[in-house]
Amino acid sequence: MYTVQHMTAFNAELRRKINADKGRIDAFYYCPHFEKKNLPEDTKMCSCSKPLPGLLFEAAEDFQINLAESYMIGDRFTDIEAGIRAGCKTILVKSGASIVRSDETTVEPDYITENLLEAALIIKGEFV
């Protein structure tokens, strides 16, 4: 969709803005491989492309994260499926768009929210 260089510049700006608001991003993870739909013939799918949970396992190892006590937040059902496969609680964020269920997944998130703020309040136990 875009180059690693563009992604790195975007992530650096995102981190700068979040740091300026006293937030913190410990790491960015991404899958550099083909999505399933674009996979060349005779090529095996990687384990880091969602809905597979490889990147969640990698982050869990890097930061000693207890996945069962963690939330996977995403705006696609492939995000939710990856979270479920990793044993996380899951929140599907609508982000102003209508939710489109991808072809193959039948998973259900633990929560559906209108935006990221609502998801954060659920995690804090403050959403009513």
Rule CB under 5 A: choose which of 7, 31, 60, 112 binds Zn ion. 31
Closer by beta carbon to Zn ion, 18 or else 45: 45
* 36 near Zn ion, judged by CB under 5 A: no
Q: Least separation, in Å, of the C-beta of 72 and Zn ion?
A: 17
**E strands within the chain?**
71-74, 89-93, 111-113
Per CB under 5 A, the segment of 16-24, 31-39, 70-78, 117-125 that binds Zn ion is: 31-39
Report the distance separating Cα 17 and Cα 72, nearest Å: 22
User: What span, in angstroms and rounded, lies between the C-alpha atoms of 76 and 63?
Assistant: 24
CA atoms within 13 A on the CB side of 118: 13
Strand order in the sheet with 71-74: 71-74, 89-93, 111-113
Least Å distance between CB 48 and Zn ion?
3
Residue type, 47: S
Could you say which of 7, 28, 39, 46 contacts Zn ion (CB under 5 A)?
Answer: 46
Residues that bind Zn ion (CB under 5 A): 31, 33, 46, 48-49
